[in-house]
Amino acid sequence: MLRFCECSNFLVHPGRIPTPRFIARPPRCRTLPANSRSNGAPTAKETQIAAVLPVSPPSEEKQEQLRELYDGNKKIESGDLKVSDGHTLYYEVHGNPEGPAALFLHGGPGAGCFENHARFFDPSFWKILLLDQRGCGKSEPTAGLEGNTTQNLVEDIEVLREHLKVESWTLLGGSWGVTLALAYAIAHPNRVSGVVLRGICTMRTEEIDWMYRGGAGSLFPEGWASFLSILSDSEKEDPLASYYKRLTSPDLDTVEKAANRWRRWEMTVMFSGKTSEKYIVKAGEIFNAAWEPIASIMKKKGGEKKPDKKNDDVDGGKAKPTRSISHAQPLLECHYSINGAFLDEPLIAGVDRIRDIPCIGVQGRLDFVCPLRTAFDLSNAWPEMELHVIPMAGHSMYDAGVKHALIEATDRMKEHAVHAS
């Protein structure tokens, strides 16, 4: 049985606590080199799950021990990559153009990438790739659902890898990005040298139901009541299906109201009251109350299109590019959730195919979007995985403890990335 270790006052190295059992790695299993460990941290074989950060707020002395994002991680290249079904993907390259490759997989689906995401990696070492997945960020068409499935996104990653002549790369995925990282690694294990996961999500039915069919409503009843308030009594029988119908409606007033309620519910669960009434901070970017990014998106696109009140460009419930960027994330999240992420089998069932890939997981104990249960289940199926449970941390990658653990994890992957290249 796996043991959880949490410490309220200081950093704990999991190898310095007794563990109930060890699970031998298969002969093919690639381990993290000993001298790649940060501050003597052990391999996954030595422990499976450990908490690594003090209870917030730490003392001023202990705050100095926490890692901050790397500086100097400027974009060195960007491009638009045409893929299938009329989609064009926006990508950026940061860091060292000659270094081992690392790919950041953003959440949502539909959240898009921001420059701060590259700052979780050492820019002097890594060649860092950011990719806006189909239908979001600076990729086109905005909020496009046609040809937008997990299988399509996995294929897109391969197209990008081939386009940039990358042999293999390290993956960092958060939330939905965990699902995509696992799906890609299972499909293309020889192209993955290491995996770092944050806010672990595998899009099982119980995970989707937790967020959109009332589970989390037991913790946030007022937020759940607000989420349901725009639905009729009959629609409340399946809120997820009802929201999908509204978010794909040809009437953009209906879409706007549904998108606003969807975002409000998501922010309630994600930040638990940390959101300001005047603005929202997410992924290092500032958004206004309508969820419009104030700087980067507007600068890239030269202004937001104002869609007509009636959206005639809808085919069979599929949203077309006339929809606003502010609709993209609610629509894409609903699209993937209602379809079970288009997965033929649970991702955890496929973990045996990737057990020889080094993996470090980082999970906030107070993550109510992606509760700890999923991380625990994944670690049971993947005993070589090293899972760090951060006390008093939630879903955000910018929580001090989560941020520290992610930077430590990408640093620990360095030497292994060299060996894999």
pLDDT tens sequence across 376-411: 999 999 999 999 999 999 999 999 999 999 999 999
Per the document, the length of the chain is: 421
- 10 Å Cβ neighbour count for 231? 17
Q: What's the rounded mean pLDDT across residues 205-228? A: 95
* Six token digits for residue 1: 């049985």
Catalytic residue among 87, 117, 335, 395: 395
Label residue 419 by pLDDT band (50, 70, 90): confident
Model confidence over 270-280: pLDDT tens digits? 876 343 344 45
- Least confident range of 8-22, 220-234, 252-266: 8-22
Label residue 54 by pLDDT band (50, 70, 90): very low
Q: Are 385 and 379 in contact (CB under 8 A)?
A: yes
How far apart are alpha carbons 398 and 268 in whole angstroms? 17
**Closest of 217, 208, 199, 272 to residue 244, by C-alpha:** 208
pLDDT value at 292 more than 70: no
Q: Are 77 and 160 in contact (CB under 8 A)?
A: no
Residue 395 is a catalytic residue: yes
> 344: Cβ–Cβ under 8 A, 6 or more apart, which residues?
none
Model confidence over 325-369: pLDDT tens digits? 789 999 999 999 999 999 999 999 999 999 999 999 999 999 999
pLDDT of residue 12: 33
Catalytic residue among 132, 156, 367, 399: 367
How far apart are alpha carbons 192 and 417 in whole angstroms? 9
| Percent of the chain clearing pLDDT 70 (strictly above) | 72
pLDDT of residue 98: 95
pLDDT of residue 2: 40
Residue 89 sits at φ, ψ, to 5 deg, of -105, 135
| Percent of the chain clearing pLDDT 90 (strictly above) | 67
What does the mean pLDDT of the chain come to?
A: 80
How far apart are alpha carbons 130 and 325 in whole angstroms? 19
Model confidence over 61-120: pLDDT tens digits? 444 589 999 997 889 999 999 999 999 999 999 999 999 999 999 999 999 999 999 999
Label residue 133 by pLDDT band (50, 70, 90): very high
pLDDT value at 15 more than 50: no
How far apart are alpha carbons 97 and 76 in whole angstroms? 8
pLDDT of residue 414: 96
Q: Are 318 and 145 in contact (CB under 8 A)?
A: yes
- Least confident range of 51-55, 72-76, 179-183, 188-192: 51-55
> SS in 3 state form for the chain?
CCCCCCCCCCCCCHHHCCCCCCCCCCCCCCCCCHHHCHHHCCCCCCCCEECCCCCCCCCHHHHCCCCCCCCCCCEEEEEEEECCCCCEEEEEEEECCCCCEEEEECCCCCCCCCHHHHCCCCCCCCEEEEECCCCCCCCECCCCCCCCCHHHHHHHHHHHHHHCCCCCEEEEEECHHHHHHHHHHHHCHHHEEEEEEECCCCCCHHHHHHHHCCCHHHCCHHHHHHHHCCCCCCHHHCHHHHHHHHHCCCEHHHHHHHHHHHHHHHHHHHHCCCCCCCCEEECCEEECCCCCECCHHHHHHCCCCCCCCECCCCECCECCCCCCHHHHHHHHHHHHHHCHHHCCCCHHHHHHHHCCCCEEEEEECCCCCCCHHHHHHHHHHCCCCEEEEECCCCCCCCCHHHHHHHHHHHHHCHHHHHHHC
pLDDT of residue 24: 30
Residue 57 sits at φ, ψ, to 5 deg, of -90, 135
Catalytic residue among 175, 242, 326, 379: 175
Q: Match 């001298």 to its residue by tokens.
A: 35
pLDDT value at 259 more than 60: yes
Q: Match 């950011």 to its residue by tokens.
A: 130
pLDDT of residue 105: 98
Model-level pTM?
A: 0.79
Q: Are 298 and 279 in contact (CB under 8 A)?
A: no
Sign of the dihedral through C-alpha 369, 371, 372, 378: negative
Instruction: Write the CA distances from 327 to 59, 98, 150, 156, 221, integer angstroms.
Output: 41, 38, 20, 22, 25
pLDDT of residue 110: 94
Residue 367 is a catalytic residue: yes
Q: Match 């064009």 to its residue by tokens.
A: 88
How far apart are alpha carbons 306 and 40 in whole angstroms? 54
